């Protein structure tokens, strides 16, 4: 019994000695007893960027620049002579005929493709160095004005030999076939042409101080054909412009149109549309003067086109001209000793003034052509 208590006392005595030794060893000794890898020193490890830092403006661009500037190991260890060629260079070496090819033609969209889809055109069809501008060819053929042609080309509404042309400045063979998309034809058919019986005192073009422009007479109250034609709408005034001038002290037929085709047909440099006038004059005119009025006069140093001039009665002449220079008839009469006291235009091409009352207007009918 005594021996057991003694051994128990020995055990109690030995226990505090061991715990006291562990306590005196400190944290360093306890670290050696841990299981697994030791933790890294947090002071030496850089702190990871937060979300705000990673998504700050310009961070992605900065990182991309750093990655491209950082050399890779294989490239650094490979000699320059042994380095593989870039794919682009290899492609050029494999196709030497491409570098020797002629100048690329203007981009042309594939048939049926959207206007933004560009493909090569036929050789000699849309070369930027040869041919004639597409817009000029369209205007010369009377398809539209050059301004309207540029707008249609931009929208992809013009086809040359079946291929859509959507780039401004494209050049084509002047004999190529040109067709317009349905949208372009629909727009052209919706444009209005108006015939006005202009009174004296109204200017045909830009307004002058103290005078009203002729377009101010276009309204619902002055429409002559309101019962037979469509009613007036303010959209009919958008882009409406006179196709030819008529002096402020002259009266008669004045054409105003939204259609560039008609404007070019009537006032283009190569226009062959004649205009007929009734001119009341004062003075005497011999046979030589009448011959000069028909052919032989010039204005501003430029010879006039041949005209048709004849007497209707003792004080009235009939003029038929194919040009419309400023105050042309009045100046022609002055050159042969006559003074114009009244001038009225009664016909333009095949369209006549007819019974249209003074100061009123009507639409050009579908069956009328200049």
Contact by Cβ (8 Å): 118, 102: no
Quickly count: other Cβ atoms within 10 Å of residue 160's Cβ.
22
Catalytic member of 10, 247, 269, 367: 247
The Cα 278–Cα 342 span in angstroms is 8
Token readout for 100 is 């020797």
CA-nearest of 278, 267, 256, 274 to 345 is 278
Structure-token match 């002071």, residue found = 43
Contact by Cβ (8 Å): 119, 108: yes
Residue 162 DSSP class: T
Residues 6+ apart with CB under 8 A from 103: 127, 128, 129
Q: Is 247 a catalytic residue?
A: yes
CA angle 292, 342, 250 (to 5 degrees): 100
E strand residue ranges, 140-283: 158-160, 163-165, 171-172, 178-180, 193-198, 202-203, 212-213, 241-242, 251-257, 275-282
Residues with catalytic annotation? Answer: 247
């Amino acid at each position: 019994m005594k021996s057991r208590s003694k051994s128990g006392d020995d055990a109690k005595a030995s226990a505090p000695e061991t715990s006291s030794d562990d306590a005196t060893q400190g944290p360093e000794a306890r670290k050696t007893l841990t299981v697994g890898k030791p933790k890294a020193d947090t002071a030496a490890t850089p702190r990871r960027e937060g979300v705000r830092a990673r998504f700050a403006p310009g961070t992605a661009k900065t990182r991309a620049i750093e990655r491209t500037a950082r050399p890779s190991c294989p490239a650094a260890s490979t000699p320059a002579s042994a380095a593989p060629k870039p794919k682009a260079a290899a492609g050029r070496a494999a196709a030497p005929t491409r570098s020797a090819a002629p100048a690329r033609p203007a981009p042309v969209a594939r048939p049926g493709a959207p206007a933004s889809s560009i493909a090569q055109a036929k050789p000699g069809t849309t070369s930027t160095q040869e041919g004639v501008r597409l817009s000029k060819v369209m205007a010369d053929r009377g398809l539209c004005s050059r301004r309207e042609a540029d707008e249609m080309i931009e929208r992809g509404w013009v086809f040359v030999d079946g291929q859509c042309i959507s780039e401004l400045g494209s050049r084509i063979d002047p004999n190529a076939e040109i067709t317009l998309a349905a949208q372009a034809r629909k727009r052209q058919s919706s444009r209005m042409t108006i015939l006005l019986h202009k009174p004296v005192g109204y200017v045909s073009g830009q307004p002058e101080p103290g005078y009203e422009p002729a377009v101010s007479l276009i309204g619902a109250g002055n429409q002559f054909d309101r019962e037979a034609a469509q009613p007036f709408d303010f959209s009919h005034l958008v882009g409406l412009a006179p196709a030819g001038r008529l002096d402020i002290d002259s009266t008669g037929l004045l054409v105003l149109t939204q259609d560039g085709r008609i404007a070019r047909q009537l006032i283009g440099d190569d226009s062959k549309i004649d205009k007929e006038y009734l001119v009341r004059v004062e003075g005497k005119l011999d046979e030589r003067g009448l011959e000069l009025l028909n052919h032989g006069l010039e204005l501003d140093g430029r010879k006039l086109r041949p005209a048709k001039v004849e007497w209707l009665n003792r004080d009235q002449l009939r003029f038929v001209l194919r040009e419309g220079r400023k105050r042309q008839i009045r100046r022609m009469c002055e050159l042969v000793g006559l003074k114009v006291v009244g001038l009225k235009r009664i016909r333009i091409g095949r369209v006549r003034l007819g019974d249209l009352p003074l100061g009123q207007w009507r639409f050009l009918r579908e069956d009328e052509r200049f």
